[in-house]
């Protein structure tokens, strides 16, 4: 009997133990990753034992059919396992069966042909308009130096009032503001430029900040500066919003990018045209913007649900 034949009669859990050592000692994967992979394969072996009525052996992996894998996935779904967790389990099984092949053990091609589960897109969470106003008020009242409060409120007002990405907002120069009037030209991803309207409230916030900042900015200088005069970075902007949301007791989902989502969601809820919102956001395709139709629908359903429970 050859080496492969002997290992084919081996308990699959023994091979799983060997694979655990390979992942940890040779590939040096993190303990968290190794444990997640092993747990997923252990779950599959437990399913096979129930499915076939015997302790799974290495040779069983050669005889598996697509229907067996589908039965495993269906059983996991019935237990409430998410599509993402199912895909992670499938990934773990593919890595484990790749190891079996390296050990010269035959493996069914069902593992390679099994398609991943479709996962629902994460809907960005919009910040309520009253919460945005609360952030801005907190920004104005916070710092000892008045110009910093004006800077922070101007940045938040700009993000919420225009839907800019944080990188786009922090790239704005004094020249951009002075030539904007009621339209601001922005350079987005791939160097593509677009014009976004500036509401009077946004313009006023920017003007108040520029009048108060102490650095004498030149026309080509980026306007948003740190406390010591350096160009403000996205990390600093994220830290700013993090500090403000803690001060106001808002959820961790409130981020600079969430203000962009809020701009689009609230515009759509107010009757905004999807094509126009696409142009304002600088999305290359309409499909990227269509996610906001789902957000709006979700919000409407939530409102209906609350009203229904009060009846």
Catalytic annotation, residues: 165, 189, 257, 260, 283, 292
> How far apart, in whole angstroms, are the C-alpha atoms of residue 141 and residue 143?
6
For the chain, the residue count is 311
For the chain, the helix, strand and coil percentages under 3-state DSSP, each to the nearest 5 = 65, 5, 30
∠289-293-297 over CA atoms, to 5°?
Answer: 160
Number of Cβ within a 10 Å radius of residue 53 = 7
The answer to whether the beta carbons of residues 56 and 107 sit under 8 Å apart is: no
Reported as half-sphere exposure (CB side, CA atoms, 13 A), residue 147 has a value of: 14
Q: Which long-range contacts (CB under 8 A, 24 or more apart) does 196-202 make?
A: 196/162, 196/163, 196/164, 196/280, 197/162, 198/161, 198/162, 199/161, 201/157, 201/161, 202/157, 202/158, 202/161, 202/162
> How far apart, in whole angstroms, are the C-alpha atoms of residue 306 and residue 311?
9
> How far apart, in whole angstroms, are the C-alpha atoms of residue 194 and residue 196?
7
Burial 163-176 (b: 16+ CB within 10 A, else e): bbbbebbbbbebeb
Quote the radius of gyration of the chain (alpha carbons, Å): 28
Distance of CA 49 to the CA centre of its chain: 37
């Amino acid at each position: 009997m050859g080496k492969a034949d002997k290992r084919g009669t081996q308990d699959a859990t023994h091979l799983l133990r060997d694979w655990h050592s390979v992942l940890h000692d040779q590939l040096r994967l993190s303990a968290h990753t190794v444990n997640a992979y092993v747990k997923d394969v252990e779950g599959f072996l437990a399913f096979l034992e129930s499915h076939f009525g015997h302790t799974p052996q290495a040779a069983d992996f050669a005889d598996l059919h697509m229907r067996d894998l589908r039965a495993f996935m269906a059983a996991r779904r019935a237990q409430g396992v998410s599509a993402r967790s199912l895909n992670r389990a499938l990934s773990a099984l593919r890595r484990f069966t790749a190891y079996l092949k390296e050990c010269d053990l035959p493996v069914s091609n069902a593992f390679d042909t099994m398609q991943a589960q479709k996962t629902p897109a994460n809907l960005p969470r919009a910040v309520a308009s009253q919460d945005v106003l609360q952030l801005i008020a907190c920004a104005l009242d916070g710092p000892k130096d008045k110009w910093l409060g004006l800077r922070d409120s101007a940045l938040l007002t700009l993000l919420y009032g225009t839907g800019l990405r944080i990188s786009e907002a922090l790239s704005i120069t004094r020249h951009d503001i002075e030539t904007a009037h009621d339209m601001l030209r922005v350079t987005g991803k791939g160097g593509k430029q677009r014009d976004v309207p500036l509401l009077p409230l946004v313009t006023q916030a920017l003007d108040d900040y520029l009048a108060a900042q102490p650095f004498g900015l030149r026309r080509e200088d980026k306007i948003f500066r740190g406390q010591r005069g350096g160009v403000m970075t996205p990390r600093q902007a994220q830290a700013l919003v993090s500090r403000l949301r803690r001060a106001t007791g808002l959820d961790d989902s409130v981020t600079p990018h969430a203000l962009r989502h809020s701009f689009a969601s609230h515009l759509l809820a107010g009757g905004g045209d999807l094509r126009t919102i696409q142009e304002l956001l600088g999305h290359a395709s309409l499909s990227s913007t269509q996610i906001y139709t789902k957000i709006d629908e979700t919000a409407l359903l939530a409102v209906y649900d609350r009203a229904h429970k009060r009846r």
